[in-house]
Amino acid sequence: MEKFTVLIEARPFCAFDNTPMEQLEQTGMQIIDMRGSGVDDPQFVKALGQADAILCGNDLRVNDEVLDMAPRVRAIAKMGAGLDTVDIDAATRHQAIVFHTPGANNQAVADHTFALILNVARKIIYCDRSLREKRWEHTKIMGLEIWQKTLGLIGLGAIGRCVALRARGFEMKVVAHDPFWPEEFALEQGIEKMQIEDLLKVSDIVSLHVPLMAQTKGIINAKTLELMKPTAILINAARGGIVNEADLYQALKNKKIAGAGLDVFEEEPPSQSPLLELDNVVLTPHTAAFTFEGMHNMSAGVVEQLIAYYRGNKPVHLVNARVWDKREA
């Protein structure tokens, strides 16, 4: 009998702790370790043809084209919560289940969100660079306080709620928009529900915590940026396509808003982005989830579900359950 073969593409998988990889190997599965490779590599394409499951991250676009090269694949194990790189409809057409690891990096991303808020508000990166360049701008650099300011969260899911809890320490007023409103949590934390337009008008800091999909693509654009206060800060540690970066560049350059902190971009890496020229934006290379704990949680979570599937059990965070149900029937 042919062995069950797993093709590992996700670069962050077991980046700090090899235990989940060892757990996979102990099950008897055959592992093809091609972390950091992709469809431009002929060896990777060859491996796709041998794989029964793909363990992927944010680099590989799993679509019809890729799945056509992987006729044996019946499971797509996505490391992380975001599913914008996996075409769920294509996977369903190919009779491949998809599962992911929501919740594994909530705390890491919430921490990073506040790191961006504070860095932008107090111009930490600029101050550091100024000193390294032998400039002493002691009375020239003015920051913004976040104490008791209004934090507007677009998205009050798992990560948004973690950010809201951190805001309590700064005695911030929190307002939020989410079509799937967490009534009990919002009531407990005194979070006011708002439409996006109203939220943008009243918030001193706007932080995005929604997935990238048709409804959220480009929701921050020239029109919505015009609604924000000139002293406001925009934070995006969700997905790049949620923000129209050309419009954001103009808003920052023309001081329509005070600053921005971005961990994600429309094109990654953003090597040609004009945002790199500006001093009122703090940029990080899609590292919000990259903590020892967050990476381990994602690696362990995806392996736990992959092993469950291998043993005939339903993965906990299954996305397209109808494929599973059809097989079971």
pLDDT in tens, 189-234: 999 999 999 999 999 999 999 999 999 999 999 999 999 999 999 9
Q: What percent of the chain has pLDDT over 90?
A: 96
Check if 317 is active-site.
Answer: no
Task: Report d(CA 210, CA 216) in Å as an integer.
Answer: 7
Residues near 146 by beta carbon (within 8 Å), at least 6 away in sequence: 117, 118, 121, 170, 172, 204, 205
Structure tokens at 284: 């990080």
Is the distance from CB of 261 to CB of 120 less than 8 angstroms?
Answer: yes
> Looking at 94, 177, 239, 245, which residue is catalytic?
239
pLDDT above 90: residue 62: yes
Structure tokens at 319: 């996305």
- pLDDT at res. 329: 73
Counting every residue written for the chain, the total comes to 329
Is the distance from CB of 7 to CB of 55 less than 8 angstroms?
Answer: yes
Structure confidence by residue, pLDDT tens digits, 89-124 = 999 999 999 999 999 999 999 999 999 999 999 999
What's the pLDDT band for 292 if we cut at 50, 70, 90?
Answer: very high
pTM: 0.90
- pLDDT at res. 97: 98
pLDDT above 80: residue 2: no
* Nearest 10 degrees: Cα torsion 25, 73, 7, 63: -150
- pLDDT at res. 328: 81
Other beta carbons within 10 angstroms of residue 279's beta carbon come to 12
Task: Report d(CA 264, CA 313) in Å as an integer.
Answer: 35
Location of structure tokens 């396509």: 241
In order of start, what are the domains of the chain with their CATH numbers? 5-103+292-328 (3.40.50.720), 106-283 (3.40.50.720)
Strand order through the sheet with 97-99: 30-33, 5-8, 53-56, 75-78, 97-99
Task: Report d(CA 64, CA 252) in Å as an integer.
Answer: 39
- pLDDT at res. 60: 96
3 state SS of 260: strand
Other beta carbons within 10 angstroms of residue 189's beta carbon come to 16
> Looking at 268, 277, 293, 322, which residue is catalytic?
268
Structure confidence by residue, pLDDT tens digits, 273-288 = 999 999 999 999 999 9
Write phi, then psi, for 175 (nearest 5 degrees). -120, 155
Residue type, 203: S
Q: What mean pLDDT comes out for the span 25-54? A: 96
**Element (DSSP H or E) covering residue 307:** helix 292-310
Q: What mean pLDDT comes out for the span 241-251? A: 98
Check if 239 is active-site.
Answer: yes
Q: What percent of the chain has pLDDT over 70?
A: 99
Check if 286 is active-site.
Answer: yes
- pLDDT at res. 108: 96
Location of structure tokens 């995005």: 208
> Looking at 286, 296, 304, 317, which residue is catalytic?
286
Buried b / exposed e over 59-95, threshold 16 CB at 10 Å, is ebebeeebbebbeebbbbbbbbbbbbbbbeebbbebe
Is the distance from CB of 113 to CB of 288 less than 8 angstroms?
Answer: yes
CA 61 distance to own-chain centroid? 15
pLDDT above 80: residue 181: yes
- pLDDT at res. 1: 44
